[in-house]
């Protein structure tokens, strides 16, 4: 039998290898357009991020190695251009010389995969715009990041690949913005409220996310400089296009193969409508296991399963491919997100009376080190209790829970089948009652009426508008809510009617459920527990007049909102301006935000951030969301690197260096890049363009001052009686001695005023550079910084010293002390020696990973 396979990545190579094992006598040939076969496409983002170090690790098999292992012939660099089913031939063209030939087959397998969609957007052909599909794509991206000075990237598309690329670009120190035209991340993959939690988490981890945002144009002249949307221009040096993929099936037009939007339709034996023609992988449209309806699921896992099953079918075995569940998982910064089965909308569209439950549970024994939480959403059919889907978020083994759901769905399990599941337990791995089983219990209690609850989706949709919010936390935590101490409820509660609508809310849901049980016993008939509680949802009480709790004041301070002590619930929100410079559009957005969410007033802080004044507590998150749509963010508080301050630099008559460019680089690399790095105290940086020191760099933890070091040509010095250099020097470092100009190096501040002032051209040449001050401080205890004994002439060297200073402060500082105190304690000479050496950078990974300064010393 002569089997011809078009495509050699996952499905094609799996089908070929398995069939060759089934029938060693078969003549099996793979044709592939690429030079690589069987590469790890799903691993490409992790090569970009550096977790996978070499290209070779991405290549599962080379053609030579694969042929030796399997006996399958592989021909690379050859593309199929037409199928002639009536003749059982395929027309192919060589990539290198264009030679065309026809190849015959007995059985044909179409496994041509899919390619990234590149929409016809103006400017998309420019350098710096990438898609992610092959190892060569990943190699080009990683090289571009390391060689091209990439500080900012925009990822267009909020699906699996887009978010994985965002995480891995961030790991390389790139500031990332993700935009998606849809109203949520991961549409049709996660339910909206789960996607909303993911979006909030990414924002907290330093990845800006803009939904309902479409790329309209790519700015730049040959190399991308920004992405234009309806509301703003997003500056960037790189763009990743991850808006989706399209099946590689154009060559099948007119062949008679049945297609649906380019996907090849197949039955359960992966046969097309043409005799002896089959299709597998990303180019094939299979079915959904639950609904039986057509579903496209371009995943590496299903491609391999389809390839293996088809090989068995070709070998004459009674095998069928039952379809897909759309199972998927994605790793994000400190959050794993998995799903399988139907979403809530998909289940409703399929005709199910769907019931859901969302709960927060421990991911292992709560007392075990590094224990965390799972957020689990289960979906089931109300009548049959059949499990329909699962979505899980958490820092731990999310895949384990998803795989439990997959197994159950494939076996047509009811919720009751999980009820007493004897799953593995030990404190390092799980809880005594497995987290998945706990979620099943919640859903069963909801179905039986033992639990009456409100889902996060219902809460977001306003169902709680006429409910009284009851705070069931161990201590009052929800501003404006009626607090009830669970342990003291032993009868009816004064002031609350038994038919009053009560929304019971705690941290994760358990205490609220226990209170509901007690209240039911005492005759209360209209209570609902908020699923996921405050761990998942932002609970707000309308028109709350109560003071904001100390815990909430601390929480929002980390977001850049400082409490106005003259009010019970008003805050001033700091808007980061990236060195005090903003665009007219950004200024307009800030002004509109102040009117909408604050009291209409804006103030400038001494750190050149803008503060929107008088923001009510309940307006904090809406204000942040509004500003994010304009490309702005709040922050600038806490024990970490603070936003950099800059003077006007070269736009000033005395400016020697481009302080805006340097401070922008510092902002991207250290304020954004180090936003999750905890320090002993705040770390302030200022950049001055000249020794006039308008922004007081020497009174910051680290200051950078522009320098212009004169290169004196003594042969041209005439020793004039009235020396113009001596006359113009503002610090009196220059004087004529023995008929020659003398510059006192310990006095000269390299202001550059002398350059060009000598009529005999003794002061023409100069070197621009930077002087770095460390250990300055302003406030209760003033400390003037000392400068390092070197004038730096290279900006990258300056940035390295800044990074080493931050690392030294984190590694050797004592929690609560300022950098000035660290320098004084260690000794200036010791610190200088470390900042000029390489040891701190060599220890960087270990330093950053250490659990240190978890509660720093900054109070503002």
CA 483/CA 476 separation, integer angstroms: 6
Interior angle at CA 367, CA 366 and CA 369, nearest 5: 100
Q: What string of DSSP letters covers 288-316?
A: BTTT-SEE----HHHHHHHHHHHHHHHTT
3-state secondary structure at position 630: coil
List, edge to edge, every strand of the sheet that includes 27-32: 73-76, 27-32, 2-6, 107-110, 277-279
Taking the chain, what is the end-to-end CA distance rounded to the nearest angstrom? 76
Structure tokens at 652: 């000033």
From the list 510, 515, 508, the residue with the least C-alpha distance to 470 is 515
- 747 Cβ contact partners less than 8 Å away, ≥ 6 residues apart: 731, 732, 733
Structure tokens at 607: 């750190």
3-state secondary structure at position 117: coil
Beta bridge partners of residue 616, listed in sequence order: 570
CA 187/CA 783 separation, integer angstroms: 54
CA 217/CA 232 separation, integer angstroms: 11
Q: What string of DSSP letters covers 128-166?
A: TEEE-SSHHHHHHHHHHHHHTT--EEEEE--SHHHHHHH
CA 774/CA 801 separation, integer angstroms: 10
CA 27/CA 11 separation, integer angstroms: 18
Q: In a 10 Å sphere around its CB, with 0-12 CB exposed, 13-18 middle and 19+ buried, how is residue 370 labelled?
A: exposed
Structure tokens at 426: 């030990």
Q: Are strands 645-646 and 2-6 parallel, antiparallel or unpaired?
A: unpaired
CA distances from 538 to 192, 224, 282, 620 (A): 15, 38, 39, 11
CA 716/CA 740 separation, integer angstroms: 10
CA 315/CA 102 separation, integer angstroms: 26
Whether the Cβ atoms of residue 702 and residue 799 lie closer than 8 Å to each other: no
- 447 Cβ contact partners less than 8 Å away, ≥ 6 residues apart: 355, 380, 382, 385, 415
CA 560/CA 577 separation, integer angstroms: 13
Put residue 329 in one of left, alpha, beta given phi > 0 → left and psi -120 to 50 → alpha: beta
From the list 192, 206, 384, the residue with the least C-alpha distance to 290 is 384
Whether the Cβ atoms of residue 625 and residue 635 lie closer than 8 Å to each other: no
CA 749/CA 691 separation, integer angstroms: 6
Active site residue 717: no
Length of the chain: 860
Q: What string of DSSP letters covers 493-534?
A: PTT--TTS-EEEE-SSSHHHHHHHHHHHHTT---EEEETTHH
Whether the Cβ atoms of residue 453 and residue 446 lie closer than 8 Å to each other: yes
List the catalytic residues: 42
């Amino acid at each position: 039998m002569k089997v011809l396979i078009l495509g050699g990545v996952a499905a094609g190579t799996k089908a070929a290898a398995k069939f060759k094992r089934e029938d060693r006598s078969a003549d099996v040939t793979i044709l592939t357009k690429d030079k690589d076969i069987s590469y790890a496409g799903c691993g490409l983002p992790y090569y970009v991020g550096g977790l996978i170090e070499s290209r070779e690790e991405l290549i599962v098999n080379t053609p030579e190695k694969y042929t030796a292992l399997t006996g399958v012939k592989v021909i690379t660099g050859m593309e199929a251009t037409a199928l002639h089913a009536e003749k059982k031939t395929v027309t192919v063209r060589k990539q290198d010389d264009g030679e065309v030939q026809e190849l015959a087959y007995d059985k044909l397998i179409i496994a041509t995969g899919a390619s990234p969609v590149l929409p016809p957007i103006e400017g998309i052909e420019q350098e710096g715009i990438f898609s992610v599909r092959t190892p060569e794509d990943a190699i080009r991206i990683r090289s571009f990041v390391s060689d091209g000075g990439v500080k900012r990237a925009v990822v267009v598309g909020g699906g699996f690949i887009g978010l994985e690329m965002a995480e891995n670009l961030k790991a390389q120190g790139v500031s990332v913005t993700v935009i998606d035209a849809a109203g949520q991340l991961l549409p049709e993959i996660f339910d909206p409220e789960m996607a909303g939690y993911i979006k909030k988490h990414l924002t907290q981890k330093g990845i800006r996310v803009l939904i309902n945002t479409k790329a309209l144009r790519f700015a730049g002249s040959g190399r991308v400089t920004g992405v234009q949307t309806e509301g703003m221009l997003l500056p960037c040096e790189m763009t990743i296009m991850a808006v989706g993929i399209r099946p590689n099936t154009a060559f099948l037009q007119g062949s008679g193969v049945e297609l649906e939007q380019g996907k090849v339709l197949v039955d359960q034996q992966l046969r097309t409508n043409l005799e002896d023609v089959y299709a597998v992988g990303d180019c094939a449209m299979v079915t959904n296991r639950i609904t039986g309806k057509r579903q496209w699921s371009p995943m590496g896992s299903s491609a391999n399963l389809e390839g293996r099953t088809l090989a068995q079918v070709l070998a004459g075995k009674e095998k069928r491919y039952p379809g897909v569940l759309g199972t998927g998982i994605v790793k994000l910064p400190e959050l794993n997100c998995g799903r399988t089965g139907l979403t809530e909308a998909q289940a409703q569209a399929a005709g199910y009376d769907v019931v859901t439950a969302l709960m927060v549970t421990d991911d292992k024994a709560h007392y075990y080190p590094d224990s965390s939480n799972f957020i689990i959403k289960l979906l089931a059919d109300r009548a049959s209790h059949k499990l329909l889907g699962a979505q899980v978020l958490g820092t731990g083994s999310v895949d384990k829970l998803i795989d439990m759901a997959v197994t159950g769905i494939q076996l047509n399990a009811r919720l009751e089948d999980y009820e007493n599941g004897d799953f593995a337990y030990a404190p390092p791995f799980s809880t005594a009652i497995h987290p998945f089983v706990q979620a099943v219990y919640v859903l069963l209690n909801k179905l039986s009426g033992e639990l009456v609850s409100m889902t996060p989706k219902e809460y977001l949709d306003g169902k709680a508008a006429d409910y009284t919010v009851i705070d069931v936390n161990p201590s009052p935590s929800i501003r404006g809510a009626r607090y009830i101490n669970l342990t003291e409820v032993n009868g009816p509660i004064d002031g609350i009617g038994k038919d009053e609508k009560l929304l019971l809310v705690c941290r994760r849901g358990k205490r609220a459920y226990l209170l509901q049980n007690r209240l039911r016993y005492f005759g209360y008939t209209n209570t609902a527990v908020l699923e996921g509680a405050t761990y998942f949802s932002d609970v707000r009480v309308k028109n709350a007049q109560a003071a904001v709790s100390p815990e909430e004041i601390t929480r929002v301070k980390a977001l850049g909102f400082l409490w106005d002590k003259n009010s019970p619930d008003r805050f001033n929100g700091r808007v980061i301006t990236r060195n005090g410079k903003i665009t007219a559009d950004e200024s307009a957005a800030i002004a509109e935000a102040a009117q909408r969410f604050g009291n209409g007033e804006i103030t400038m802080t001494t750190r050149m951030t803008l503060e929107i004044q008088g923001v009510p507590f309940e307006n904090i998150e809406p204000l942040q969301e509004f500003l994010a749509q304009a490309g702005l963010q709040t922050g600038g508080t806490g024990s970490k690197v603070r936003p950099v301050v800059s003077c006007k630099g070269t736009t000033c008559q005395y400016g020697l260096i481009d302080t805006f460019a340097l401070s922008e680089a510092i902002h991207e690399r250290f304020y954004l890049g180090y936003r999750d790095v905890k320090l002993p105290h705040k770390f302030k940086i200022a950049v001055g363009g000249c020794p006039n020191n308008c922004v007081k760099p020497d009174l910051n933890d680290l200051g950078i001052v522009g320098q212009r070091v004169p290169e004196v040509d003594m042969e041209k010095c005439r020793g004039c009686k009235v020396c113009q250099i001596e006359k113009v020097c503002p610090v009196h470092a220059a004087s004529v001695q023995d008929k020659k100009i003398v510059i006192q190096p310990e006095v000269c501040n390299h202001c550059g005023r002398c350059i060009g002032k000598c009529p005999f051209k003794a002061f023409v040449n100069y070197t621009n550079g930077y002087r770095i001050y460390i250990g300055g401080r302003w406030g209760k205890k003033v400390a003037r910084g000392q400068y390092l004994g070197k004038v730096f002439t290279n900006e990258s060297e300056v940035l390295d010293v800044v990074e080493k200073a931050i690392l030294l402060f984190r590694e050797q500082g004592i929690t609560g002390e300022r950098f000035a105190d660290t320098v004084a304690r260690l000794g200036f000479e010791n610190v200088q020696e470390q900042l000029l050496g390489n040891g701190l950078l060599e220890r960087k990974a270990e330093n950053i990973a250490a659990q240190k300064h978890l509660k720093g010393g900054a109070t503002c």
